[in-house]
Amino acid sequence: MRRGLLPVVVATAFLTMLDNTVVTVAAPSIASDLGASVRSLEWVATAYMLPYAGLLLAGGRLADRYGDRRILLGGLAVFTAASLAAGLAGHLAVLVAARAVQGAGAALLVPATLAVVAGRPERERLRAAAAWTAAGAVALAAGPVVGGVLSEHLHWSWIFLLNVPVGVAALAVAARAVDPARRPGPPALGLTALVAATVALAAVTYVLTGGPAVPAALAVAAAAAVLTVRTAGQVFDAALFAERAYRGALAVQVLWGLAVTGVCFHTAVFLQDVRGFGPVDAGLAFVAVAAAVAVGAPVAPLLVRRRGAARTVTWGLILVGLGVAAVAAGSTRTVVLLAAFVVIGFGSALTVPLAAVALAAVPADRSGLGSGVFAVAREVSGVLGIAGLGVIVLGWGYPAGLTAAAVLVLGGAVISSRTLPGAERPQQRRPGGVQFPLPVRPGVRPVRVQVDGGRDAGE
């Protein structure tokens, strides 16, 4: 892998996902310092999530049109500058505006980073995609811990200010590490469809995060969705979803996001409202998840090379499902809870090949858009998981909500076992430097065809 690229992938994934959850525990400190109500601070979180989720498709399309490197560097610059503005904000309106710009920068940054990863050879792509997914999962679990510790022992502004040196360093490294060569991109942006999709995604995210004026937002979402469907041909084409592996990876990512994000959110609430944990203590409980993800992530690429993506991801999802079921049954016992969190974290680490599978199945000239769609699946499924499981938790109780989450994850295991590529057998080299992986078993197509010195060709 080109020197410096992997740290850039890890840094961008960690920062963009950390800012999804880092403000939750720090909200009371921000409210006290800025003289705002805790209720109004919902906009500090929502202002980031709306442009982030809404603009991901546009960010991917821009990366295809103008080049991965240019959009990646631009996204990093916007995200870093907005983080500085958020850290220096002395008024709630300024903080909310800075967070919105942060979200827009992240929406440019994430698809471009994944598109860069998609252009690497098979082994490097698997390694980088695993690092990207693992860093995001660790950040998601670590967000409440980081926010609580910084706001309690330093100042809430450091939640955002710490992004600045990391962002500047990543910007400097990315300028040297990312290849300036451009891929053949689409001839036009499809502006009408992009605007419609952006409005639809933002409106749906707004509704799911519980913002006011929900009926109006639903009407906007419905109108924008209809326009998106009518103009989808300007942005999407059949080739993007032609591969069964890509469709399967998206479906599994959605089911994992629905379950795990919902479990983390409602367990944090359960620990504080029912078990009597403080905010920091509740956040620290999720260190077990983050640590297990960090330990298990390097194992996943090794298992993929030996057993294939289908088995690796399926085993991981089964572990996650069992861990969630254990939390549902033993959430009143701390030892059981922490042990189950370790199982959930390690199982989640084994799902990191999903990103590599999705990227490998996307056409070269649509890697930015394909990456954006995958990122949308991760982001929206997380928000939907919080809202959807919340309905079950409020109606039937916390154990019922987690049981439903376990069922979703196990459903993902069934899908992954049937759609993701299997293990690769030893390859036969033929004249011209082309490697032909042998079929794994009847009914499973070869994963990739790799050409020496260049990017993997399609299946």
What distance in Å separates the CA atoms of residue 415 and residue 253, rounded to the nearest whole number?
11
Residue carrying structure tokens 């949308």: 376
Q: How confident is the model at residue 403 (pLDDT cuts 50, 70, 90)?
A: very high
Give me 237's structure tokens: 């084409």
Q: How far apart are CA 166 and CA 80, in angstroms?
A: 8
* DSSP β-bridge partners for residue 428: 436
Q: Maximum distance among all alpha carbons in the chain?
A: 71
Percent of the chain with pLDDT strictly greater than 90:
13
d(CA 56, CA 114): 12
Q: Where are the alpha helices (DSSP H) in 35-91?
A: 42-66, 68-88
How many residues comprise the chain? 459
Residue 434, helix vs strand vs coil: strand
Q: How confident is the model at residue 211 (pLDDT cuts 50, 70, 90)?
A: low
| 153 contacts: CB under 8 Å, gap ≥ 6 | none
pLDDT at 360: 79
Quick check: 211 and 252 in contact, CB under 8 A?
Answer: no
DSSP H or E run through 301: helix 299-307
List, for residues 388-399, the tens digit of each pLDDT value: 787 788 788 888
State pTM to two decimals. Answer: 0.72
Highest CATH level, class, for 239-426+437-447: mainly alpha
% pLDDT > 70, the chain: 74
Question: Tell me: the pLDDT tens digits for 36-89?
Answer: 765 666 677 777 877 887 778 778 878 877 888 888 899 999 999 999 998 898
The amino acid occupying position 369 is L
Least confident of 172-176, 199-203, 236-240: 236-240
In CATH, which superfamily holds the domain spanning 1-180?
MFS general substrate transporter like domains (1.20.1250.20)
- Cα–Cα distance for residue pair 184/125, rounded to 1 Å: 20
Q: Say if residue 438's pLDDT is above 50.
A: no
Pairing of β 434-436 and β 450-451: antiparallel
Say how far apart CA 191 and CA 166 lie, in whole Å. 33
For the cut 80, the answer to whether the pLDDT of residue 16 exceeds it is yes
What is the average per-residue pLDDT within 289-313?
A: 86
Place of tokens 């009407």: 219
Q: What's the chain's average pLDDT? A: 76
User: Of 75-89, 96-110, 152-166, 368-382, where does mean pLDDT reach its minimum?
Assistant: 368-382
Average pLDDT over residues 324-329: 90
